[in-house]
Amino acid sequence: MKLQKSQAVAALLVALTCAILYFTLRPASSYTHHLDTRYQAMRLLGTFISQEHPGEGVLLLANPFVLKPKASEKIKDHDTMGHEGLKSGLAENTSLTKVYPAIRSDYARDPSSVVIPPSSKTPLSFVVETASLDELADTHPEATIITSLIGLPQGVQKLKVWKSDHPARFALLLPDFRLLGRSKEVIRQFKNGKILAAVIHDKASGEPLIATKENIGELLASQPRSFGF
C-alpha cells in the first residue's frame, strides 16, 4: 500500500511539474503577441510625448464600437491595450483623456453604403464622423496633443484642428497616410509640426519604431507600406 501511495504521489508531482513547465515555457499565442506589440507601440508613443512635449495634455481617440452593448472581446482588448500602453509611457502628471468619435450616420443606417479600402490599416478612418474630431478638440482644449488608436478620419484636412494656426498636433499608431495624399504632404506635415510622431512596425525587426520629423523621409522611402502607401 505504501509503495502504491508513493507511486501515486510521484506521478502527481510529475504531472504538476509538466503542467507548470507547459504553461511557463509554451510560446505566446499570436493574438497575445499582437496585443503585447500594440501595448508596446503605444507605450513608445507615450514615452516620446512625455520626453519631447512634457506637461502637455493628451487626447486619445478610441474605437466608438467599444461602447456598443454587443462589442466583441477583441475590440475591447485592442482598446484596453492601446490605452494602457499609452498611459504607461506618459509621465504620471500628464493629463490623458480618452474619447470616442461619433460613428457616421450613413454607416449606422447601412454599413454597406460606406466604402472602406480593404488594404487600410485604419478602417475606422472611413467610419467615424470627421467633424466630431473638431467637437472633441473644442470640448478638451487643454489636450493639445491628439493621439489615435483608430487613425485619422477621412477628410481631416478640412477640420479646424488640422489648420496650421490650431494648437492641436498629432501622434498616431499605424497610420494610413494615404488619407493625406502623396508622401510629400506627409513629410510636410511632419516638418511643420502638425504630426509629431507615428509608430509603425519596423519591416526588418517587426518591433515598434517611431517616426518623427528627423527620419520620416528616410522611412517613407525605405518602407512606404508601413505608412499605407
- What cell was used for 217? 523621409
Which of the four pLDDT bands, split at 50, 70 and 90, describes residue 24? very low
Distance of CA 171 to the CA centre of its chain: 10
For residue 65, pLDDT beyond 60: yes
**DSSP, res 141:** T
Q: Hey, which of 2-6, 15-19, 146-150 has the most confident mean pLDDT?
A: 146-150
What is the C-alpha separation between 119 and 114, in angstroms, rounded?
15
Domains detected in the chain: 30-227 (3.40.50.2300)
Cα gap 44→195, rounded to integer Å: 16
Residue 29: its pLDDT value, please? 76
168 or 18, higher pLDDT: 168
Q: What is the predicted pLDDT for the residue at 161? A: 98
User: Is the confidence at residue 20, as pLDDT, over 60?
Assistant: no
Predicted confidence (pLDDT) at residue 107 exceeds the cutoff of 50: yes
pLDDT of residue 123: 96
Q: Can you tell me the mean pLDDT for 205-216?
A: 96
User: Residues of the chain with pLDDT > 90: what percent?
Assistant: 86
Question: What is the total residue count of the chain?
Answer: 229
List residues bridging with 74 in a β-sheet: none
Q: Read off the pLDDT of each residue in 89-100 and give the average, rounded to a whole number.
A: 96
Give 9 or 211, the one with higher predicted confidence.
Answer: 211
28: pLDDT strictly greater than 60: no
pLDDT value for 208:
95
This prediction has a pTM of 0.85
Instruction: Please check the confidence at residue 17 and state whether its pLDDT lies above 70.
Output: no
Please, which residues have CB within 8 angstroms of residue 78's CB and are 6 or more apart in sequence? 35, 38, 63, 149
CA distance 152 to 8: 62
Whether pLDDT at 4 is above 90: no
Residue 223: pLDDT above 90? yes
Query: Mean pLDDT score of the chain, rounded to an integer?
Result: 89
Q: pLDDT at position 225, please?
A: 94
Which of the residue ranges 8-12, 59-63, 156-160, 216-220 would you say has the lowest mean pLDDT?
Answer: 8-12
Q: Is the pLDDT of residue 5 over 70?
A: no
The pLDDT score that the predictor gives to residue 8 is 38
User: What was the pLDDT predicted at 12?
Assistant: 32
